[in-house]
Amino acid sequence: MTDEQKRDAELVHQILLGNEDAFSELNTLYKQRICEFIASKIGDWHHAEELTQDTFLKVNQHLQTLRKPERVLNWMFRIANQLVAGWHRKNQKSNTARSSIDIYESEGEYEAATVVHQAAQENATETARWMALSEAITQLPELERRIFRLQLENKSYEEIAEICEVTVSIVRNRLSRAKQKLKFWAAAWEEANAEGLDLDFSEFNS
């Protein structure tokens, strides 16, 4: 168990004991990462913030059901992913070509079950991929990380430059540098994941 997992497990324990400060700390630690994850799925930062609030509401309501408190972040990503799926259904933006019901009716139970299983595996992989990328983002140099996150919020170069008190050219340069690092990281992660290996961005980044 890593130091972060030990910290998360202790936070969960304290929250379940009624410690409100512990829940606030959990929120502070992971709100940004959850919101970025949701925004990447729906392309709308405003609604991503609303779904992030819903995520933490569900976390607070159902935390007692969590069996592995050291994996609370994974669990929160899964909750967020479920809310995203509901958002897409509500807004009729599902990209699924055929539902499992359609497949069941046309091809039978086995094929339908296979599709559901594959979808679950793909969803788990996608969530793991984003968690790895999210961790990488947190380890970018401070200015690059701030600029990158502001662009995720759909801020213009000029707005980012004003917020960060730097020139537009610096924004462009640092943003390009951050994206290049994350691009190389994503490729390395995909390769390692395909081989069943773990890859630490802090080592990769060095």
CATH number of the structural domain spanning residue 91 = 1.10.1740.10
Average pLDDT over residues 135-140: 78
- pTM value is 0.57
- pLDDT tier at 92, thresholds 50, 70, 90: low
d(CA 196, CA 199): 10
For residue 162, the model assigns a pLDDT of 92
Domain span at residue 27?
1-95
Nearest to 137 by CA among 41, 56, 32, 42: 32
For residue 125, the model assigns a pLDDT of 61
Say if residue 201's pLDDT is above 60: no
- pLDDT tier at 101, thresholds 50, 70, 90: very low
Average pLDDT over residues 36-42: 81
Q: 144 CB contacts (<8 Å, ≥6 apart)?
A: 174, 175, 177, 178, 181
Q: Does residue 65 belong to any structural domain of this protein?
A: yes
Say if residue 95's pLDDT is above 60: no
Q: Does residue 49 belong to any structural domain of this protein?
A: yes
Least confident range from 20-24, 25-29, 150-154, 168-172: namely 150-154
Q: How many domains does the chain have?
A: 1
Q: Does residue 12 belong to any structural domain of this protein?
A: yes
User: What is the overall mean pLDDT for the chain?
Assistant: 77
Q: Does residue 62 belong to any structural domain of this protein?
A: yes
d(CA 69, CA 22): 13
